[in-house]
């Protein structure tokens, strides 16, 4: 295999910035610094005036998800093209077994679907039901299949909702296995009640969607998941935090010594709930996702959460449904497939609204788009890192280039972008995945199937103190 040399750029990691050339070979970064002796067959990229950063990791996507009676448009092939086009080299998608379905069966089904991926990928596995076989399959997934995170939906009553007894059982098992439980935090009973109430009142349009899932519904569930984890001594990761209440709940827990992580979507950081008032039904419906876009003050709370360290990762919940699919809910907002795209735009949006507005430094940008996710899900320092020995997943960022986001030019299969028209100053020009040029000058350079599955071992470093505490907290009987 030939080598790849990136010359003249400034390397930006989660903690420093410095000028250096990078030599990649066989998947890996093999040299860093001023590189004078070159191997044969080397391909050279000039990165003068540009930043080289770890390839983005999107910890939350749903490619070709079967959901609400249809299947998300972007499959692992098209979705990962969009990822690479935006500088993201790894996605963490979700295996979502149906209730009563074997976790392993579902896992293999998703693995099969993902074979056509262009970028790297790995999977969280959802716990949608419970019995002893589920516990046993969690064991096997951790031991044999590189899974170290399990997802729980606290909403979607009568479908995949995990009630408290399931949360308690599954979090306990996660702790036993050194895995991390994650939650979609919305109180399913309240959503169910509000959906019925709104429909009964004749509120059938997409503007009813946010009313059926107000911020208190997320705040409640966030707090509940955190408290259950706290009680059991387990870590916890909250996906798509979209509200001030949930930020406050995470902060409270962290400030009391708990191990809690929070993820925020590029969409929730920048789009607000006024979109549901759009007089065009299709436009309003295109924004239907859960949790919904929020009143503006939540955006401020999310940014503050990012700045103060309460939220550590950024994601997209990329789950693309086209207008035709959205139209399934024409007369009933609860039937509009929930989901929006974004895997391509995530890093650009965070750059424009974060770095360019002085909210975060470039180093923090790297931490938020790549490194922190790699650490939490135990892929660091192979991923999320630029050093000799790390995987050669990189993005070359041109701070001087500009671009306007549009569904006309994006690589998702759907015809709508929630970031339509946003001007970006500083764009990803070249993406290197597994040591090879994957995206360059607007051209896809890899093939379907070139993406690799990433094994993620249990017991990430944060587990050290959790284990110690468990040991110290053994109950002691009073001698009587």
Site for its own copies in 220-239 (CB under 8 A): 220, 223-224, 227-228, 230-231
Name the binder of 406 from its own copies, Zn ion, none, CB < 5-8 A by kind: none
| Beta pairing partners, 432 | 394, 437
Site for its own copies (CB under 8 A): how many residues? 89
Give the nearer residue to its own copies in terms of CB position, either 144 or 201: 201
Which span (73-81, 423-431, 438-446, 459-467) binds its own copies, by CB under 8 A? Answer: 459-467
Name the binder of 317 from Zn ion, its own copies, none, CB < 5-8 A by kind: Zn ion
Using alpha carbons, select from 118, 117, 184, 120 the residue that is nearest to residue 149.
Answer: 184
Using alpha carbons, select from 209, 152, 216 the residue that is nearest to residue 190.
Answer: 216
100-129 residues in contact with Zn ion (CB under 5 A) are none
Residue 339's Cβ-count burial label (10 Å; 0-12, 13-18, 19+) is buried
Do residues 394 and 431 lie in contact, with contact meaning Cβ atoms separated by under 8 Å? yes
Binder of its own copies out of 36, 279, 421, 441 (CB under 8 A): 279
Name the binder of 118 from Zn ion, its own copies, none, CB < 5-8 A by kind: none
- Least Å from the CB of residue 273 to its own copies: 12
Alpha carbon of 84 to those of 63, 71, 79, 299: distances in Å?
14, 22, 9, 27
Give the nearer residue to Zn ion in terms of CB position, either 317 or 352: 317
- Enter the tokens of residue 262: 């929070």
Do residues 97 and 166 lie in contact, with contact meaning Cβ atoms separated by under 8 Å? no
382-411 residues in contact with its own copies (CB under 8 A) are 387-388
307-326 residues in contact with Zn ion (CB under 5 A) are 317
Using alpha carbons, select from 298, 283, 196, 296 the residue that is nearest to residue 242.
Answer: 298
- Strands 42-46, 3-7: pairing kind: parallel
173-202 residues in contact with Zn ion (CB under 5 A) are 184
Residue 143's Cβ-count burial label (10 Å; 0-12, 13-18, 19+) is exposed
186-225 residues in contact with its own copies (CB under 8 A) are 187, 189-190, 193-194, 198, 201-205, 207-208, 211, 214, 216-217, 219-220, 223-224
Per CB under 5 A, does 244 bind Zn ion?
Answer: no
Do residues 272 and 242 lie in contact, with contact meaning Cβ atoms separated by under 8 Å? no
Do residues 171 and 229 lie in contact, with contact meaning Cβ atoms separated by under 8 Å? yes
Type and span of the H or E element at 196: helix 188-200
Give the nearer residue to its own copies in terms of CB position, either 90 or 310: 310
- Least Å from the CB of residue 316 to Zn ion: 9
- Least Å from the CB of residue 183 to its own copies: 13
Binder of its own copies out of 100, 277, 402, 404 (CB under 8 A): 277
Q: By the criterion CB under 5 A, which residues form the site for Zn ion?
A: 184, 317
């Amino acid at each position: 295999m030939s080598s790849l040399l990136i010359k003249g750029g400034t390397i930006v990691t989660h903690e420093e910035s410095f000028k250096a050339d990078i030599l990649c070979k066989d998947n890996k970064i093999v040299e860093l610094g001023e590189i004078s002796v070159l191997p044969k067959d080397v391909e050279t990229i000039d990165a003068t005036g540009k930043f080289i950063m770890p390839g983005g990791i999107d910890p939350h996507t749903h490619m070709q998800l079967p959901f609400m009676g249809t299947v998300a448009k972007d499959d692992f092939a098209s979705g990962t093209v969009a990822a690479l086009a935006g500088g993201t080299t790894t996605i963490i998608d979700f295996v979502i077994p149906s209730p009563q379905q074997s976790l392993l069966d579902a896992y293999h089904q998703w693995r099969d679907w993902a074979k056509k991926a262009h970028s790297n990928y790995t999977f969280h596995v959802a716990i949608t039901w419970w019995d002893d076989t589920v516990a046993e399959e969690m064991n096997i997934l951790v031991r044999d299949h590189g899974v170290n995170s399990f997802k729980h939906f606290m909403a979607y009553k009568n479908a995949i909702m995990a009630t408290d007894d399931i949360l308690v059982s599954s979090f306990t098992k996660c702790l036993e296995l050194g895995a991390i439980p994650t939650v979609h935090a919305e109180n399913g009973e309240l959503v169910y009640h509000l959906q019925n109430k709104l429909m009964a009142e004749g509120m059938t349009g997409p503007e009813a969607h946010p009313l059926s899932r107000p911020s208190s519904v997320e705040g409640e569930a966030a707090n509940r998941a955190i408290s259950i984890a706290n009680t059991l001594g387990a870590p916890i990761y909250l996906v798509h935090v979209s509200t001030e209440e949930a930020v406050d709940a995470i902060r409270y827990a962290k400030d009391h010594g708990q191990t809690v992580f929070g993820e925020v979507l590029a969409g929730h950081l920048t789009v607000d709930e006024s979109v549901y008032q759009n007089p065009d039904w299709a436009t309003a419906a295109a924004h239907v996702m859960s949790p919904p876009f929020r009143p503006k003050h939540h955006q401020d709370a999310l940014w503050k959460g990012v700045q103060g360290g309460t939220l550590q990762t950024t994601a997209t919940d990329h789950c693309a449904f086209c207008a035709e699919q959205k139209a399934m809910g024409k007369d009933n907002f609860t039937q509009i497939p929930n989901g929006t795209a974004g895997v391509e735009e995530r890093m650009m949006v965070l750059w424009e609204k974060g770095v360019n507005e002085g909210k975060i430094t470039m180093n923090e940008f790297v931490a938020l788009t790549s490194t922190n996710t790699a650490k939490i899900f135990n892929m660091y320092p192979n991923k999320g890192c630029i050093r000799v020995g790390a995987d050669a997943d990189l993005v070359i960022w041109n701070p001087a280039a500009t671009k306007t986001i549009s569904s006309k030019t994006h690589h998702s299969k759907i015809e709508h972008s929630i970031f339509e028209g946003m001007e970006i100053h500083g764009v990803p020009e070249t993406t290197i995945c597994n040591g090879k040029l994957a995206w360059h000058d607007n051209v896809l350079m890899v093939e379907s199937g070139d993406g690799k599955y990433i094994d993620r071992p249990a017991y990430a470093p944060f587990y050290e103190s959790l284990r110690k505490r468990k040991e110290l907290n053994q109950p002691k009987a009073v001698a009587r």
